[in-house]
Structure formats: C-alpha cells, structure tokens
A and B are shown apart, each in its own frame.
Chain A
Amino acid sequence: MPYAFANLEDASSLANYIVAKRKDVLNAKINRYPKRAFTCSDIHECDRYMIHSVLDWDKRELHDTGLQAIFDAGNREEENVKNRIGYELGLEFVETQSPFEIKNREGEVIASGKIDGKILWNGKAVPVEIKSMNENSFNTINSLDDFRKKPLYRKYLRQMQLYLYGNNQEAGLFIISNFRTEKIILVTLDYGECEYILSRLERLWEMKKKGIYPDPEYRPELCDRCPFSSICLADVINKPADFINNEALEEKLSRREELAAAKKEYDELDEEIKATFKQIPHAFVGQSFEIIGKEQIRKSVDTKAMPDDVKAPYMKETSCWITKIKKL
C-alpha cells in the first residue's frame, strides 16, 4: 500500500522535530568528568588552565552542541580512517584506545592519556594518532612544523611526544583526515621536547597538590575561548590599534582601491594575450603592435621535492612584515 502524501504541515513539523531532537541528542552527550591528573591530549599552554583543569574540573564551562557535533564527527571519522587505511589496505590496527600514564619521580601518576591505536608493520606495532579536521586546516598542515602554528595543534604534538616517551617508542604517525583523504606525518621522539613537557608537568603537579594557582596572564588566543575564563578572572590588557588621520594617505588608499579592478582586468588580458602568442617568435597585430617571443631555459631547485633532512642544514629564518589592506 502506497504511503499517504505529506502536506506542508507534515514537512514543517518534521523539520521542527529533527532540529529539536538533534539538539537534545547532542545535549545529552555533553558532560564533564572528574580529573585526578593532567590529560595528555590537553596539555594546555596556560599553566593556570592546567591547574584549573584538575582542581576545578566541575566548574569547567560545558561546550555547546556545535562543538559536540564536531567531536562526534571526529569519533566517527576515526573509525572511517581505520577502515580506509586499515582494513582496505590489509593493515591491522591493534591496541586501539590503549591508555598510558606518565609518572613523576615519586611514582605518582601526573598525566594520563590514550592513543588511537597501533598498526602492525613488519611484525612491529607503530603508534598512530588520527586527527580529523576541516578542509582549510587540513590544507595548512603538510609537515610536523605546521603543527606548531596553532595552540590546538601544538597540543597534538605534546600528546604524541608524551605517548612515545611513556611507551619508550622511537616514532609514530599522525594520520590527519579531511573526512575524505589522509595525510601521514611521521613523528619522532624528541627527548628535548619531552624533557621540557615533563619538567613543566612535574612543576604544575606540585602546585596542584598545594592548591596554588599560577598568576593569570591574558593571552587572547588562549583566554578568549577558555572554559575557565569565568573563574580565572585574568586582567585583560589590550593594546589599541593606531588610529591615523592623514587625508593624503587616505586618498592614496582610495585611489589604490579604484585601480584594483583595472589591475585585475590588465592581468587577465595580459595572461590571455601572452598565452595566444606562445611559441610565436615574431608577429604584428594590425599596425600598432609588434610581439616578440623567445624560449628561455630557467634552472631552479625543486625544494618541495627535497627530503626534509637535506633541506634542514640550509634552513634560515628571516623576518618579513606582511601588510594586508581591507576596505571598510
């Protein structure tokens, strides 16, 4: 028997139901859990946050349904990745979500964590941490250095280093996914980095035991989204932008804006015309234009194709200033 046709009211009430029910489902998953030690996946750059995270776990601001939906998608994607690169390639994931602990010199557990799993390879288990992210973030990460660009990604690095250290492993893999494809990034145990993280954790652990909070220090990139901001109460110090009154300069900026469209048109025409005359050494157009072309051989080094260890000795840091101009 065919189903009855739905009318506008049915469709409208279904839409309302889905929105409300989805929100309820997500809300039901949002929670906070007691913490006795630091969490390896949440080694924050703010010392005060670290103390709050253990001593005030019950006062942590709950995240919203939007973020919960992202967490859910990340968890599902972890399984998808395991399927794509594990089972489809005939590789075996073992010891999934295996816990590990970091102890201090007194043998106290000061941090605990989990790693997504290990892949069996040549009879050995290679630790793997899967991180899913949106397309924009995915495109910005191509090497381990790129993980240093954002506070969140730096947490990933610390998590992996602690895992490698805690399990006496020399190397592991980050598998990052944009929900369709993956990038594989090799991570090696960095003793210097581990030493730094561990000594910091030990210092913070002692403060936690005594109930001492480090002095707050406002850092917008960390504090503005901090779930403890309403109990941390850091003084907020903002340095204002420069407000400049200079008519001549403003006129130049306006003129620059006016010319932008013409420049774009010029560039497009230039490219189109030059493409037309590719491989033509000499030509005239009407009586006004002469066009001359010749082949040139350029030699260059493809630095992108070079292995990182070959590039490393030639790396140097130079400072540059990037100015972006936006019309208000």
Chain B
Amino acid sequence: MENQENELIAFTPANQLDVTEDILAAANRRIAQLDKIVKLSISRTNQNDWVDQGGKPYLTCSGAEKIARLFGVCWKDVKSEKIISSDEQGQYYFYEFSGIFTLGSDSITAVGTCSQKDQFFAKSGGKIKPLSEIDETNIRKAAYSNMVVNGVTRILGIRNLTWEEVKDGGIDKSKAPKVNYDKKEQDNSKISAAQYNRFYAIYKKSGKTEQDVSAFIAKFGIKDPHDLLAKDYNSVIAWLEGGE
C-alpha cells in the first residue's frame, strides 16, 4: 500500500495535449499547466538571471539556459549571419541567429538579432561611439543570447511576464540588475529617488520658490516633482540652475 502511494506518475508536458479531448477542458488544463511552468521556471532562476529593462522583467541568457535544462528544451541547426544594412546615418551591420527549438514533439524556429546601433553597445554618455570602439564579438554574442532567450521563452509560452509574476516566484525586482541606457531623452519612467534628491538639493540652492517650481513643472503635466519623467529631468535641472 505504502509503495502504491509513492508511485511516480509523470504528467503530460503542456505541449503534448491530447487533441481528441474536449477543447475547453484542454485549454483549462493548458492554463493550469502554464501557471505551473511559469512558477517552476522562475523558481529555477535567481535575481541575476533577470534584468529590469524599462520597468519590465527581461530574462537573461543564463536564466533561459537554466529553464531550458529544467524542461528539456533543446536547440539545433543554429545559423548565424552578419547583415550589412544602411539608413540615413550610413551603413551599419547586425547579426542574426536562427535555430530550431524543440520541446517534446513541438518545435519552433527562433531568431535573435543585435545591431551595431544597439544602444547598449553603441552609445556612451549620450554619444554614438566610433565603430572602432564597438566590439563586434559582443554584438554577435548578444544576438545569439537573444535567440536563446526568444526560443526558450516562446516554446514554453513564458514571454511577457510581469514583475508581479516574477516576484511570486521569489525574485526581488530591487535586487535585479537594471539596464540604464542613455535614455534621458526618451525615457518615460519616473525619476529615481536619487534623482529626486539631487533635484531637491539644487532647488534649495536655486533661490526659486515652491510656486516657481510648481508653475514650471506644470508644463510637463505634473504637480508633484516626484512624478517627473526621466526624459524631462535635465530640462528641469537646467532651469533650476539658471537656464530658461
């Protein structure tokens, strides 16, 4: 009896649903299994396997590899190509990797790319780096990593997770590395606490009144400086420091 209780019964992976089953029941089962996959996947990772990118959790290649091992995701026939392209600023290259990802009997083709113009590699201090300063191996590796992450997350159906879902799996957003591109001009996220503190220090020194500040930041559609967007931050600081 004891032995019977401990009999191990493997459950069917999410991708091998019996197509003859009632579609609704199968869909419900798939949702339940997907929840399980998400939870198990996240539990396999740690905070270093996630990056906070523009407020969204981005799984790194190391995290994707751990999850792939858990579920037995395989990839093969990986091909890479360096593609030369051009735009109004001239010629540039990007790497494209593609590979066939399999999980049980399912398979997909996943693609990963990374361009010489990728902000992470191409910009420093708000300026475009000269070509000689961009390491091509980094671009190639990033494209490969991008393919692995895309392939693993797509075949398992764990794309577009939110920080809430990731947090449920025990990953602390505040401990995950944060990618800060040179994003002053396009970042729609609010300023950080450190930026606010700097703003406050400069404001106190500026001789401007609270009313002055309220009137100025109203131009950005906000009443409280805590709500300043990163992209507007430099304009406010410049104004406090004596600019127009």
Report A's interface with B, CB cutoff 8 A. Answer: 7-9, 12-13, 59-62, 220, 224, 229-231, 233, 235-246, 248-249, 328
Scan B60-86; emit 1 where CB is below 8 A from any A CB, else 0.
001001001111111111111000000
Please provide the chain B residues from 76 to 123 with a CB less than 8 Å away from any CB of chain A in the complex: 76-80, 97
Interface of B is mostly: helix
B127 CB → nearest A CB, Å: 14
From B197-205, B216-224, B226-234, the one touching the partner chain is: B197-205
Scan B10-24; emit 1 where CB is below 8 A from any A CB, else 0.
110100000000000
From B132-140, B158-166, B181-189, the one touching the partner chain is: B132-140
A229 CB → nearest B CB, Å: 7
For A240, the chain B residues whose CB sits under 8 A away are: 13, 70-72
Q: How far is the CA of A8 from the CA of B201 in the complex (A)?
A: 6
For B140, the chain A residues whose CB sits under 8 A away are: 59, 61, 230-231
B210 CB → nearest A CB, Å: 18
For A7, the chain B residues whose CB sits under 8 A away are: 201, 205
For B40, the chain A residues whose CB sits under 8 A away are: 328
Q: How far is the CA of A248 from the CA of B7 in the complex (A)?
A: 9
A33 CB → nearest B CB, Å: 14
For B73, the chain A residues whose CB sits under 8 A away are: 238
Given contacts A244-B8, A244-B10, contact A238 B69 (CB under 8 A): yes
For A249, the chain B residues whose CB sits under 8 A away are: 5-6, 8
Return the chain A residue nearest B145 by Cβ.
Answer: A230
Indicate the member of A224, A230, A241, A243 with the most B CB atoms within 10 Å. A230
Q: Indicate if the CB atoms of A238 and B137 lie closer than 8 Å.
A: no
Q: Indicate if the CB atoms of A243 and B13 lie closer than 8 Å.
A: yes
Q: How far is the CA of A238 from the CA of B156 in the complex (A)?
A: 14
Q: How far is the CA of A230 from the CA of B77 in the complex (A)?
A: 13
Indicate if B141 sits at the interface (CB-CB under 8 A): yes
Number of interface residues, chain B, beta carbon within 8 A: 42
Please provide the chain B residues from 171 to 201 with a CB less than 8 Å away from any CB of chain A in the complex: 194, 197-198, 200-201
Return the chain A residue nearest B69 by Cβ.
Answer: A238
List 6 extra interface pairs beyond A240-B72, A243-B13, A328-B39, CB under 8 A.
A60-B137, A62-B135, A230-B97, A233-B79, A236-B74, A238-B71
For A246, the chain B residues whose CB sits under 8 A away are: 5-9
A-B pairs, 9 with minimum CB distance: A240-B72, A230-B144, A235-B76, A245-B11, A8-B201, A233-B78, A248-B5, A9-B201, A230-B141
Q: Indicate if the CB atoms of B72 and A238 lie closer than 8 Å.
A: yes
Q: Indicate if the CB atoms of A238 and B74 lie closer than 8 Å.
A: yes
Given contacts A236-B74, A236-B75, contact A220 B69 (CB under 8 A): yes
Q: How far is the CA of A238 from the CA of B101 in the complex (A)?
A: 11
Given contacts A230-B80, A230-B143, A246-B6, contact A62 B138 (CB under 8 A): yes
Q: Indicate if the CB atoms of B137 and A236 lie closer than 8 Å.
A: no
Q: Indicate if the CB atoms of B144 and A328 lie closer than 8 Å.
A: no
Indicate if B43 sits at the interface (CB-CB under 8 A): yes
For A328, the chain B residues whose CB sits under 8 A away are: 39-40, 43
